[in-house]
Amino acid sequence: MPQDHFRDAAPYSLLGGSGAGGRGVSRDSFSDMGSMGSNFYDLLRSKCPHLLPDFSGVVAEGGVLSEKIPRGTTILALKYKDGVIMAGDRMATEGYQVSHRHIEKIYRTDDFSAIAISGAAGPSIEMARLFQTEMEHYEKVEGEGLSLEGKANKLAQMIRQNLSAAIQGLVVIPIFAGYEEQKGEGRIFKYDLTGGRYEESEYHATGSGGKDARNTIKKLYRKDMERSEGVRVVLEALLDAAEEDVGTAGPDPVKGIYPSMKTITRERIKDVPEEEIKSIYEALIERRRSG
């Protein structure tokens, strides 16, 4: 299943009227959107339910989930002096096979927040993109954005809506993080498959290699780390996870594939340059090689 399938399936990409197998949106469908308030998910559910993610077709006869479902693996978030670092490896798996080697797992929500995805890749990417649109819609209707806590609560509601699919195996377990301008600090939120929302004060990692990544961070983490130290700790955690977990990809210098990483601070969201990630990985590997 090509990665383009997931990108093209984003709900907001269908609003032009040509997606979803020709079941586009007529101009009249949103003519009374003002009466629906600022909840974009409820708007779709009421006016255009065919645009909501529907993965019922991936369940095989007899209710057995198909093994051909790409799954995203390890993601993490870590607080440092100026905000939050979010990162994820680039591999998705189908059972014991590699599905994709350069999938994106960190998605910008707005200028000061992002969502990292793990679990069934299709539903996870759909949810991330629908969440992006939900935030944009809210801001346009209300004239201002939700608070960081409000965004975290909204994501919890969306995860709860996915519970029936999760029971069938299409689990979506994201991490949401952002910079709280009023408090001047980064915040990290984790979730369970029922939509339970919990805030972490320092760091969190999930996915197949999440436990291994957390064990590494636990040993190296300290409060008020500088950015450079935080990036190094994150990359070392992902490297350890790749060594212990078959579903987590390590760096691939031959193909030039490295983890994706973003920082979220008062200076907004920024990508950590690939050259910086490559340089730190080379230093980490050389240190382990030399003992």
Helix or strand holding residue 262 (H, E): strand 260-265
> What SS3 state is found at 78?
strand
For residue 200, list its beta bridge partners.
Answer: 188
Compute how many other C-beta atoms are within 10 angstroms of the C-beta atom of residue 225: 19
pTM of the predicted model as reported, rounded to 2 decimal places: 0.79
Q: Where are the domains of the chain?
A: 68-290
Predicted pLDDT at 19: 39
Compute how many other C-beta atoms are within 10 angstroms of the C-beta atom of residue 272: 22
Give the Cα separation of 264 and 271 in Å (integer).
9
CATH topology of domain 68-290: Glutamine Phosphoribosylpyrophosphate, subunit 1, domain 1 (3.60.20)
Per-residue buried b or exposed e for 85-124, using 16+ beta carbons within 10 Å of the residue's own CB:
bbbbbbbbbbeeeebbeebbbbbbbbebbbbbbbbbbbbb
Predicted pLDDT at 141: 84
DSSP assigned state of 59: B
* Inter-helix orientation angle 227-244/274-289, to 10°: 60
Give the Cα separation of 224 and 45 in Å (integer).
43
Active-site amino acid positions: 73
Predicted pLDDT at 44: 58
pLDDT in single tens digits along all 291 residues of the chain: 444 433 433 444 434 443 334 444 444 544 454 445 666 556 656 666 655 555 555 554 444 455 567 677 899 999 999 999 999 999 988 877 888 888 999 999 999 999 999 988 888 888 999 899 888 888 888 888 889 999 999 999 989 988 887 887 788 899 999 999 988 999 999 999 899 999 999 999 999 999 999 999 999 999 899 999 999 999 999 999 999 998 899 899 889 999 999 999 999 999 999 999 999 999 999 998 886
